[in-house]
Amino acid sequence: MSNQSRRLNERIIKFYAEMKKNNYPNATSFAQLLRELDLYENEPYACSPRTVMRDIKTLKEEFNAPIAYDPVQRGYYLTNPNWELQCPVIEEDVLSMNLVGTRLASDFLPEPLKSDVNSAMDKALAANNSEFFSEAMIESLLCASGIKSAVDPAVFKKVFEAWRRHQVLAMTYKKPNHQPEERKFEPHIIAFHRGNWYTKGYEYGTKDIKCYAIHRIIAVTFGGDTFESDKKLLNATKRNGLFEYPKIDGIQLRCDASIAFYLYEHQKMKKFKVEPQKDGSLLVTLRPAFEHEVLRWVLSEGGRIEVVYPPELRRKVAEAALAVASANRD
Protein backbone atom coordinates (compact mmCIF):
# COMPACT_ATOMS: atom_id res chain seq x y z
CA MET A 1 0.00 0.00 0.00
CA SER A 2 1.37 3.42 -0.96
CA ASN A 3 1.94 6.23 1.54
CA GLN A 4 -0.96 8.11 -0.06
CA SER A 5 -3.37 5.19 0.44
CA ARG A 6 -2.13 4.66 3.98
CA ARG A 7 -2.71 8.32 4.83
CA LEU A 8 -6.22 8.12 3.35
CA ASN A 9 -7.06 5.12 5.55
CA GLU A 10 -5.68 6.82 8.63
CA ARG A 11 -7.60 10.04 7.95
CA ILE A 12 -10.83 8.10 7.43
CA ILE A 13 -10.37 6.17 10.68
CA LYS A 14 -9.56 9.37 12.57
CA PHE A 15 -12.54 11.24 11.11
CA TYR A 16 -14.82 8.32 12.02
CA ALA A 17 -13.41 8.32 15.58
CA GLU A 18 -14.12 12.05 15.93
CA MET A 19 -17.76 11.48 14.92
CA LYS A 20 -18.10 8.55 17.33
CA LYS A 21 -16.95 10.89 20.11
CA ASN A 22 -19.62 13.42 19.07
CA ASN A 23 -16.98 16.04 18.31
CA TYR A 24 -18.82 17.11 15.11
CA PRO A 25 -15.75 17.48 12.87
CA ASN A 26 -15.98 19.54 9.70
CA ALA A 27 -13.51 19.92 6.85
CA THR A 28 -11.79 22.98 8.34
CA SER A 29 -11.65 21.83 11.97
CA PHE A 30 -10.45 18.35 11.01
CA ALA A 31 -7.72 19.71 8.76
CA GLN A 32 -6.59 21.89 11.68
CA LEU A 33 -6.62 18.87 13.99
CA LEU A 34 -4.36 16.95 11.61
CA ARG A 35 -1.95 19.90 11.45
CA GLU A 36 -1.73 19.85 15.25
CA LEU A 37 -1.13 16.09 15.37
CA ASP A 38 1.92 16.14 13.06
CA LEU A 39 2.20 12.36 13.45
CA TYR A 40 5.18 11.72 11.21
CA GLU A 41 8.64 13.11 11.86
CA ASN A 42 9.65 15.50 9.07
CA GLU A 43 6.41 14.60 7.26
CA PRO A 44 3.58 16.97 8.15
CA TYR A 45 0.29 15.13 8.58
CA ALA A 46 -1.67 18.16 7.42
CA CYS A 47 -4.06 18.22 4.49
CA SER A 48 -6.47 20.77 3.04
CA PRO A 49 -10.20 21.06 3.83
CA ARG A 50 -10.82 20.05 0.21
CA THR A 51 -9.02 16.75 0.86
CA VAL A 52 -11.17 16.19 3.95
CA MET A 53 -14.32 16.71 1.88
CA ARG A 54 -13.11 14.01 -0.52
CA ASP A 55 -12.52 11.71 2.47
CA ILE A 56 -16.09 12.36 3.67
CA LYS A 57 -17.36 11.46 0.20
CA THR A 58 -15.31 8.25 0.35
CA LEU A 59 -16.83 7.38 3.72
CA LYS A 60 -20.33 7.87 2.33
CA GLU A 61 -19.90 6.15 -1.04
CA GLU A 62 -17.40 3.36 -0.38
CA PHE A 63 -18.15 2.56 3.27
CA ASN A 64 -21.87 3.50 3.23
CA ALA A 65 -21.35 5.60 6.35
CA PRO A 66 -24.59 7.23 7.60
CA ILE A 67 -23.13 10.75 7.76
CA ALA A 68 -25.06 14.01 7.92
CA TYR A 69 -24.13 17.64 8.54
CA ASP A 70 -25.50 19.42 11.61
CA PRO A 71 -25.79 23.17 10.89
CA VAL A 72 -26.13 24.00 14.59
CA GLN A 73 -22.97 22.12 15.63
CA ARG A 74 -21.32 23.05 12.31
CA GLY A 75 -19.97 19.56 11.82
CA TYR A 76 -20.67 16.01 10.70
CA TYR A 77 -22.18 13.23 12.79
CA LEU A 78 -23.40 9.63 12.43
CA THR A 79 -27.15 9.47 11.99
CA ASN A 80 -26.90 5.88 13.28
CA PRO A 81 -24.59 6.03 16.34
CA ASN A 82 -24.35 2.21 16.37
CA TRP A 83 -22.81 2.08 12.89
CA GLU A 84 -19.28 0.66 12.87
CA LEU A 85 -16.56 1.33 10.34
CA GLN A 86 -15.12 -1.82 8.78
CA CYS A 87 -11.49 -0.77 8.90
CA PRO A 88 -9.12 -1.39 6.00
CA VAL A 89 -6.46 -4.08 6.38
CA ILE A 90 -3.99 -3.12 9.10
CA GLU A 91 -0.45 -2.78 7.86
CA GLU A 92 2.57 -3.78 9.93
CA ASP A 93 3.38 -0.27 11.18
CA VAL A 94 -0.23 0.48 12.14
CA LEU A 95 -0.60 -2.97 13.72
CA SER A 96 2.61 -2.44 15.70
CA MET A 97 1.34 0.84 17.17
CA ASN A 98 -1.97 -0.78 18.10
CA LEU A 99 -0.19 -3.68 19.77
CA VAL A 100 2.19 -1.42 21.69
CA GLY A 101 -0.72 0.62 23.06
CA THR A 102 -2.77 -2.49 23.82
CA ARG A 103 0.09 -4.29 25.54
CA LEU A 104 0.98 -1.33 27.77
CA ALA A 105 -2.68 -0.68 28.55
CA SER A 106 -3.06 -4.24 29.80
CA ASP A 107 -0.53 -3.49 32.56
CA PHE A 108 -2.86 -0.81 33.93
CA LEU A 109 -6.24 -2.45 33.47
CA PRO A 110 -7.74 -4.55 36.25
CA GLU A 111 -9.68 -7.73 35.57
CA PRO A 112 -11.84 -8.55 33.71
CA LEU A 113 -10.79 -5.89 31.16
CA LYS A 114 -7.18 -7.04 31.29
CA SER A 115 -8.16 -10.50 30.01
CA ASP A 116 -10.44 -8.99 27.36
CA VAL A 117 -7.65 -6.73 26.09
CA ASN A 118 -5.12 -9.57 25.98
CA SER A 119 -7.63 -11.73 24.10
CA ALA A 120 -8.19 -8.96 21.55
CA MET A 121 -4.42 -8.61 21.11
CA ASP A 122 -4.08 -12.35 20.47
CA LYS A 123 -6.86 -12.20 17.86
CA ALA A 124 -5.19 -9.25 16.10
CA LEU A 125 -1.92 -11.14 15.89
CA ALA A 126 -3.60 -14.28 14.59
CA ALA A 127 -5.74 -12.41 12.04
CA ASN A 128 -2.79 -10.52 10.59
CA ASN A 129 -0.45 -13.52 10.61
CA SER A 130 2.47 -11.23 11.30
CA GLU A 131 5.98 -12.63 11.20
CA PHE A 132 7.32 -9.51 12.92
CA PHE A 133 5.61 -10.16 16.25
CA SER A 134 5.86 -13.09 18.59
CA GLU A 135 4.39 -13.72 22.02
CA ALA A 136 7.84 -13.30 23.58
CA MET A 137 8.33 -9.96 21.82
CA ILE A 138 4.95 -8.63 22.95
CA GLU A 139 5.60 -9.78 26.52
CA SER A 140 8.88 -7.84 26.55
CA LEU A 141 6.91 -4.57 26.36
CA LEU A 142 6.67 -3.62 30.02
CA CYS A 143 5.22 -0.72 31.94
CA ALA A 144 6.96 -0.02 35.24
CA SER A 145 3.99 1.64 36.96
CA GLY A 146 1.08 -0.68 37.65
CA ILE A 147 -2.00 -0.60 39.84
CA LYS A 148 -1.26 0.23 43.49
CA SER A 149 -4.63 -0.61 45.03
CA ALA A 150 -6.66 -3.78 44.51
CA VAL A 151 -9.84 -3.21 42.51
CA ASP A 152 -12.76 -5.63 42.69
CA PRO A 153 -13.13 -6.91 39.08
CA ALA A 154 -16.93 -6.98 39.33
CA VAL A 155 -17.00 -3.39 40.60
CA PHE A 156 -14.66 -2.14 37.89
CA LYS A 157 -16.64 -3.90 35.17
CA LYS A 158 -19.90 -2.35 36.40
CA VAL A 159 -18.37 1.15 36.58
CA PHE A 160 -16.82 0.70 33.14
CA GLU A 161 -20.12 -0.43 31.63
CA ALA A 162 -21.97 2.48 33.26
CA TRP A 163 -19.41 4.93 31.86
CA ARG A 164 -19.66 3.37 28.40
CA ARG A 165 -23.46 3.30 28.34
CA HIS A 166 -24.05 6.59 30.22
CA GLN A 167 -25.82 4.75 33.03
CA VAL A 168 -26.30 6.25 36.49
CA LEU A 169 -24.66 4.23 39.27
CA ALA A 170 -26.10 3.42 42.69
CA MET A 171 -23.09 2.59 44.87
CA THR A 172 -21.79 2.11 48.37
CA TYR A 173 -18.61 4.11 48.93
CA LYS A 174 -16.24 4.00 51.89
CA LYS A 175 -13.70 6.72 52.59
CA PRO A 176 -10.76 5.92 54.89
CA ASN A 177 -11.84 6.08 58.55
CA HIS A 178 -15.48 6.71 57.57
CA GLN A 179 -18.63 4.62 57.55
CA PRO A 180 -19.89 3.42 54.14
CA GLU A 181 -22.24 5.84 52.40
CA GLU A 182 -24.84 5.33 49.66
CA ARG A 183 -24.37 7.47 46.54
CA LYS A 184 -26.03 7.96 43.13
CA PHE A 185 -23.49 9.08 40.59
CA GLU A 186 -23.05 9.86 36.88
CA PRO A 187 -19.65 8.44 35.76
CA HIS A 188 -18.59 10.83 32.98
CA ILE A 189 -14.85 10.07 33.15
CA ILE A 190 -12.67 7.08 34.05
CA ALA A 191 -9.02 7.92 34.76
CA PHE A 192 -5.83 6.20 35.89
CA HIS A 193 -3.82 8.47 38.21
CA ARG A 194 -0.71 7.65 40.26
CA GLY A 195 -1.36 3.93 40.31
CA ASN A 196 -5.10 4.08 41.06
CA TRP A 197 -8.33 4.11 39.04
CA TYR A 198 -10.88 6.90 39.54
CA THR A 199 -14.24 7.88 38.12
CA LYS A 200 -15.27 11.52 37.90
CA GLY A 201 -18.67 13.02 37.20
CA TYR A 202 -21.71 14.50 38.88
CA GLU A 203 -23.72 13.56 41.90
CA TYR A 204 -26.96 12.37 40.30
CA GLY A 205 -29.46 15.14 39.63
CA THR A 206 -26.99 17.93 40.44
CA LYS A 207 -23.95 19.66 38.97
CA ASP A 208 -21.83 18.83 42.04
CA ILE A 209 -18.56 17.44 40.69
CA LYS A 210 -17.36 14.28 42.43
CA CYS A 211 -14.31 12.08 41.97
CA TYR A 212 -14.34 8.58 43.47
CA ALA A 213 -11.52 6.07 43.88
CA ILE A 214 -12.87 2.88 42.32
CA HIS A 215 -11.05 0.65 44.83
CA ARG A 216 -13.13 2.29 47.59
CA ILE A 217 -16.45 1.34 45.98
CA ILE A 218 -17.61 -1.72 47.91
CA ALA A 219 -20.92 -2.35 46.09
CA VAL A 220 -22.44 -0.99 42.89
CA THR A 221 -25.46 -1.47 40.62
CA PHE A 222 -27.03 0.43 37.76
CA GLY A 223 -29.28 3.17 39.11
CA GLY A 224 -31.95 2.82 36.44
CA ASP A 225 -31.42 6.22 34.78
CA THR A 226 -29.14 7.56 32.05
CA PHE A 227 -27.30 10.85 31.58
CA GLU A 228 -25.97 12.98 28.73
CA SER A 229 -22.22 13.28 28.27
CA ASP A 230 -20.71 16.60 29.35
CA LYS A 231 -17.89 17.76 27.09
CA LYS A 232 -17.27 20.81 29.28
CA LEU A 233 -16.40 18.59 32.25
CA LEU A 234 -14.04 16.51 30.12
CA ASN A 235 -12.28 19.58 28.69
CA ALA A 236 -11.96 21.15 32.14
CA THR A 237 -10.47 17.93 33.51
CA LYS A 238 -7.96 17.74 30.66
CA ARG A 239 -7.01 21.35 31.30
CA ASN A 240 -6.96 21.43 35.11
CA GLY A 241 -6.41 17.85 36.19
CA LEU A 242 -8.53 15.14 37.75
CA PHE A 243 -8.98 16.74 41.15
CA GLU A 244 -10.53 20.10 41.99
CA TYR A 245 -7.55 21.55 43.88
CA PRO A 246 -6.66 25.25 43.67
CA LYS A 247 -3.45 26.09 41.84
CA ILE A 248 -0.72 28.51 42.94
CA ASP A 249 0.76 30.91 40.42
CA GLY A 250 4.32 32.23 40.32
CA ILE A 251 6.11 29.46 42.25
CA GLN A 252 9.88 29.90 42.04
CA LEU A 253 12.39 27.21 42.97
CA ARG A 254 16.19 27.31 43.20
CA CYS A 255 17.45 23.92 42.01
CA ASP A 256 20.87 22.35 42.45
CA ALA A 257 22.91 21.82 39.29
CA SER A 258 22.87 18.05 39.94
CA ILE A 259 19.23 17.83 38.77
CA ALA A 260 19.68 20.09 35.75
CA PHE A 261 19.36 17.11 33.39
CA TYR A 262 15.90 16.30 34.80
CA LEU A 263 14.72 19.89 34.48
CA TYR A 264 15.81 20.23 30.88
CA GLU A 265 14.29 16.82 30.00
CA HIS A 266 10.89 17.90 31.33
CA GLN A 267 10.99 21.61 30.50
CA LYS A 268 9.18 21.36 27.16
CA MET A 269 6.46 19.00 28.37
CA LYS A 270 5.72 20.80 31.63
CA LYS A 271 6.42 24.25 30.17
CA PHE A 272 8.27 25.83 33.08
CA LYS A 273 10.97 28.49 32.77
CA VAL A 274 14.59 27.60 33.62
CA GLU A 275 17.18 30.35 34.22
CA PRO A 276 20.83 29.34 34.88
CA GLN A 277 22.45 31.27 37.78
CA LYS A 278 26.07 32.37 38.23
CA ASP A 279 26.63 29.88 41.05
CA GLY A 280 25.59 26.95 38.80
CA SER A 281 22.11 26.58 40.27
CA LEU A 282 18.93 27.01 38.25
CA LEU A 283 16.00 29.29 38.98
CA VAL A 284 12.79 27.56 37.91
CA THR A 285 9.49 29.40 37.52
CA LEU A 286 6.49 27.09 37.32
CA ARG A 287 3.20 27.50 35.57
CA PRO A 288 0.19 27.51 37.94
CA ALA A 289 0.65 24.28 39.89
CA PHE A 290 -0.94 22.25 42.68
CA GLU A 291 0.71 23.06 45.99
CA HIS A 292 0.71 19.47 47.27
CA GLU A 293 2.44 18.19 44.10
CA VAL A 294 5.20 20.81 44.33
CA LEU A 295 5.59 20.08 48.05
CA ARG A 296 5.99 16.37 47.31
CA TRP A 297 8.53 17.05 44.57
CA VAL A 298 10.66 19.41 46.69
CA LEU A 299 10.79 16.95 49.60
CA SER A 300 11.63 14.02 47.32
CA GLU A 301 14.81 15.77 46.13
CA GLY A 302 16.31 15.72 49.64
CA GLY A 303 17.53 19.33 49.87
CA ARG A 304 18.41 19.89 46.23
CA ILE A 305 15.46 22.27 45.74
CA GLU A 306 14.85 25.49 47.70
CA VAL A 307 11.50 27.28 47.53
CA VAL A 308 12.13 30.94 46.73
CA TYR A 309 8.49 32.00 46.37
CA PRO A 310 5.85 32.04 47.81
CA PRO A 311 6.81 32.27 51.51
CA GLU A 312 3.83 30.16 52.61
CA LEU A 313 4.97 27.21 50.49
CA ARG A 314 8.53 27.65 51.77
CA ARG A 315 7.20 27.45 55.35
CA LYS A 316 5.18 24.31 54.61
CA VAL A 317 8.22 22.59 53.07
CA ALA A 318 10.30 23.41 56.16
CA GLU A 319 7.60 22.09 58.50
CA ALA A 320 7.18 18.89 56.51
CA ALA A 321 10.96 18.33 56.40
CA LEU A 322 11.20 18.75 60.19
CA ALA A 323 8.35 16.27 60.68
CA VAL A 324 10.10 13.72 58.46
CA ALA A 325 13.39 14.21 60.32
CA SER A 326 11.65 13.89 63.70
CA ALA A 327 9.88 10.68 62.70
CA ASN A 328 13.15 9.10 61.56
CA ARG A 329 15.41 9.97 64.50
CA ASP A 330 17.04 7.07 66.36
How many angstroms separate the CA atoms of 61 and 67, rounded? 10
Can you give the pLDDT at residue 174?
93
How many angstroms separate the CA atoms of 82 and 98, rounded? 23
Can you give the pLDDT at residue 25?
92
How many angstroms separate the CA atoms of 215 and 152, rounded? 7
**For 21, which DSSP code?**
T
Q: What is the CA radius of gyration of the chain?
A: 24
Can you give the pLDDT at residue 41?
39
Phi, psi of 170 (to 5 degrees): -110, 120
Torsion of CA 187, 192, 195, 200, to 10 degrees: -30
Closest C-alpha to 295, from 323, 259, 269: 323
Q: Which pairing describes strands 167-173 and 181-193: parallel, antiparallel, or unpaired?
A: antiparallel
Can you give the pLDDT at residue 1?
44
How many angstroms separate the CA atoms of 61 and 51, rounded? 15
Can you give the pLDDT at residue 42?
40
Q: Which pairing describes strands 67-70 and 75-78: parallel, antiparallel, or unpaired?
A: antiparallel
Can you give the pLDDT at residue 89?
46
Q: pTM score, two decimals?
A: 0.54
Closest C-alpha to 97, from 13, 194, 156, 29: 13
How many angstroms separate the CA atoms of 105 and 252, rounded? 36
Q: How does pLDDT run along the chain (330 residues), one tens digit per residue?
A: 445 666 677 788 888 888 988 889 999 998 888 776 644 434 445 578 898 999 899 889 888 899 999 999 999 999 998 888 875 444 555 555 565 566 556 666 677 766 766 666 666 655 555 554 555 555 555 555 555 677 888 898 899 889 988 999 999 999 988 999 999 999 999 888 877 889 999 999 888 999 999 999 999 999 889 998 888 898 888 877 788 777 888 899 999 888 888 887 776 656 788 888 988 898 989 888 888 888 988 998 888 999 999 999 999 999 999 998 888 887
How many angstroms separate the CA atoms of 313 and 322, rounded? 14
